[in-house]
Structures are given as structure tokens and as C-alpha cells.
Amino acid sequence: MRILVTGGAGFIGSHIVEALESAGHEVVSLDITPAERPGSVVTTEVRGDVRDAETVARALVGVDAVCHQAARVGLGKGFEDAAGYVSDNDLGTAVLLSQMARGSVPPPLVLAGSMVVYGEGRYVCPTHGVVRPGPRERADLDGGRFDPPCPHCAAALEPGLVGEDAPCDPRNVYATTKLAQEHLAAAWARATGGRAISLRYHNVYGERMPRDTPYAGVASFFRSALERGEAPRVYEDGAQRRDFVHVTDVAAANVTALEALAQAAQPAGELRAYNTGSGEPHTIREMASALARAYGGPEPVVTGEYRLGDVRHITADSRGLRERLGWRPRVGFEAGMESFAKAPLGAVR
């Protein structure tokens, strides 16, 4: 297949390009910046912005499928980033989909989704069963009470794995734009008879992860600190649960989803979402400690600080992607942190 990868020069996108090439596909990479990865004999690079209709139309010529990775990621610096997130993520997606809708047979789409659309993860109260706590209060966070209580009886809750059928409840601007991307893709699929899959990534890490910026992920913050000879600074009490999934596994998931769509593995006119995680929850403190050990740097410092837009626990139930499409993560937690500790970081984008 000839596949367009938007954001193909980015952290995840560049790994997807490589995985697609290894699987024998021809790739068109659309990105506003040049690729950092080694050159390829089969990849066509189109320089430009996904929000520009003429550039997108040029990149779409002759493609059989689209893998949409271009986005502004991370929590950002505050609500002043809202217009930038909406423009990059939602306007960019709308321009891409409108150009994809122009042909008589729309190419299938794999979208870079995110687990942030859920808000908090799945919680069980010993009395009330599965509950959905609201946003955490600043007064509780200031007092070091980081775990959300049961909204009915204030009892302690047990966190669990969240499935794709869980209600969405985005808690910050970035999360809201990622959910809007899914809604746009679903509307496109209904209007055109197209097929679409959203891979809701959990905490992706690995080689070429961007350096320490306000938009980088927590693994990048810790890795950048270790490179500077500093201890990783862990917010809250470090007991936040996340699912850390290696970027090569995420790239493989995209290849699997694209090939499944090419074989009409789901009905036309709909979008299906799949959690994309390792299936092995770990705390932020565990991740920071594993990375520090592998790097040979100072032990993490637990600060008690917090970011108001963060959620406490969010870990995936990724059985759908495994059982329906046959994808399996290959990189375990310890091995992944060992390789990430020695891997070069990417440039600030």
C-alpha cells in the first residue's frame, strides 16, 4: 500500500514510517519539519502544514490509506494554549478529512487517539461498585489528598483498567481536542462510508522522544533531568498509575490497524477506538526509579507538587486490540526503560 503519514517526522510518526517500510509499504510523510531519522529510498517527504488544504491534497495523491499523527501533544503551559491546540489538532484534522472526502472511494484512516479522553480511569467503591469521581479539588491536592474519593460515600477507591466503552470525560484542553478529533473522524466515516480506527495511546516513550519542553511527556522530563545530572522530580506522591508503552509497539499497532482496514476488517461508515497500552500498569515513581537505575543517575525526588489538569490513575484494558486485530506489545517495562535510558532524545519541535 501507499500510505500517507501526517506528522511523519515526529516522535511516533517517524517510528511508524520505519515500521511501514519494514512491512513493505510505500510511505508519504507529511510534516512541517524535516525528518531526523536516516533517509529512506521509498519514503516521499512532503514539507508543509496539515492545516493547508493544497499541501494536504498534494500529499494525498495516489494513497491507499492515511495514518494521522500530526498534533500538538502534552498538557501545555495553561489555558492560554487553547487556541493553538484547537488549531493544530482539530482544524488540522478537519482539513485532512475534508480533502480525504473529495474522492469517490475514501482511503481508510488510522488516527492517533489518546487515553486522555477518559479523564480519570476506572474506579471501584467497596459499597457502590464502579463509580466515576469528578475532577479533584485544589484544596484536596494542597493537603496531599491525591486519590479521588467515592463521589457517594467518600470511601477510598480501588483503581482498575478502563475499557473503550467507558464514558469520555476530558479534563484539559489537549484531552478535549483529542476527543474532538475522534468525533470529526466518526462524522467523516458516516458521511463518506469510510472506515476509521482511533488508537488511544497510553504513555508512549522511547528513542527520539522530544526533549524536556512544556509539551513533552513525563518520561521525557525524567530522562532530560538525568541527562543534566539532576534527580527526576516526581509530582504528587508518585503513586499515580499509568501504562507505559514503547514507541516501537505503538508503531506496530498502527501497521496492524492499517492492514486490517485495508482488508475491510470492520463495517464501512464507522470509527472504532482501541486502547493501545502495554497492559502492565506501573506508578510514576516506579518508572522514574527504573529509568534512574538504568541511566545510572540520582534517585527520583518526590515533590508533592501537582498540575491541576492531571488525572490520578488511568490505565488501559487493551484486550480489544489484541483479540480483534491480533496486535501484541513486544517490549517489556524493564527492557524498555533500559533502552530508553541510553537512547538519544529528539529535538524540541
pLDDT 10s digits, 127-179: 999 999 988 999 999 999 999 999 999 999 999 999 999 999 998 899 999 99
pLDDT 10s digits, 304-313: 999 887 899 9
pLDDT-derived band at 103, boundaries 50, 70, 90? confident
Within 10 angstroms of residue 296's Cβ, the number of other Cβ atoms is: 9
87-96 average pLDDT score: 98
Q: Look at residue 76 in the predicted model and tell me its pLDDT.
A: 67
The three cell numbers of residue 14 are: 517517524
The three cell numbers of residue 212 are: 524536556
- C-alpha span between 312 and 345 (Å, rounded): 27
Q: By mean pLDDT, which of 6-10, 108-112, 313-317, 342-346 is the weakest?
A: 342-346
Q: How far is CA 52 from the centre of its chain?
A: 23
pLDDT-derived band at 71, boundaries 50, 70, 90? very high
Beta bridge partners of 66: 4, 109
Q: Give the residue from 349, 274, 246 showing the smallest Cα distance to 110.
A: 274
Q: Look at residue 316 in the predicted model and tell me its pLDDT.
A: 87
Residue at grid coordinates 484542553? 173
Residue at grid coordinates 495553561? 78
pLDDT-derived band at 42, boundaries 50, 70, 90? low
- C-alpha span between 224 and 234 (Å, rounded): 13
pLDDT-derived band at 80, boundaries 50, 70, 90? confident
Q: Look at residue 164 in the predicted model and tell me its pLDDT.
A: 96
- C-alpha span between 104 and 196 (Å, rounded): 16
Which residues 6+ apart lie within 8 Å of 150 measured at CB? 123, 125, 127, 128, 131, 133, 156, 157
The three cell numbers of residue 247 are: 514507541
- What percent of the chain stands above pLDDT 90? 85
Q: Are 12 and 204 in contact (CB under 8 A)?
A: yes
Q: Look at residue 52 in the predicted model and tell me its pLDDT.
A: 98
Q: Look at residue 134 in the predicted model and tell me its pLDDT.
A: 87
What type of residue is 249? D
Instruction: Say whether 215 is catalytic.
Output: no
Annotate 112-134 with three-state secondary structure. EEEHHHHCCCEEEECCCEEECCC
pTM: 0.94
pLDDT-derived band at 74, boundaries 50, 70, 90? confident
What type of residue is 337? M
Q: What residues does each domain of the chain span?
A: 2-121+162-342
Residue at grid coordinates 499515580? 240
pLDDT-derived band at 272, boundaries 50, 70, 90? very high
Q: Is the dihedral of CA 298, 330, 323, 13 positive or negative?
A: positive
pLDDT 10s digits, 167-211: 999 988 999 999 999 999 999 999 999 999 999 999 999 999 988
pLDDT 10s digits, 217-246: 899 999 999 999 999 999 999 999 999 999
- C-alpha span between 311 and 118 (Å, rounded): 10
Q: Are 29 and 265 in contact (CB under 8 A)?
A: no
Q: What is the assigned CATH class of domain 2-121+162-342?
A: alpha beta
- How many Å is the maximal CA-CA distance in the chain? 62
Q: Which residues of 132-146 are buried (b: 16+ CB within 10 A; e: fewer)?
A: ebeebeeeebeeeeb
Q: Give the residue from 277, 278, 284, 348 showing the smallest Cα distance to 313.
A: 284
Within 10 angstroms of residue 272's Cβ, the number of other Cβ atoms is: 20
- C-alpha span between 9 and 342 (Å, rounded): 21
> Which position among 174, 274, 295, 306 bears the catalytic label?
174
